[in-house]
Amino acid sequence: MSSHKIVEVNAPLSELSGSLGDLGTLLPILVALSITGQVSLTASLIFGGEVTSAGLGVGSMIFILGITKTIKNEYRQH
């Protein structure tokens, strides 16, 4: 197995562990700030959901462009 294949397999695992680490940092801070009344938990969760939706939308478009090879065709033309 080439080193290129190993990177492809490990990259999603490192992304997943990084996202869980961020979540483990964000949630306690968000809960503490909402308990003390410094941050609105509802507004924070709604904003977080909007950001997540935007990320999923962009990711979906890039996925579709990659599957249809549109990105590769555009790159060749320029």
d(CA 41, CA 49): 12
**Max alpha carbon distance in the chain (Å)?**
56
- Predicted TM-score (pTM) of this structure: 0.55
Per-residue pLDDT of the chain (78 residues; tens, 9 = 90+): 455 555 455 667 777 788 788 888 888 999 999 999 999 999 998 998 888 899 999 999 989 988 998 878 777 776
d(CA 75, CA 78): 6
At which residue do the structure tokens 């562990």 appear?
17
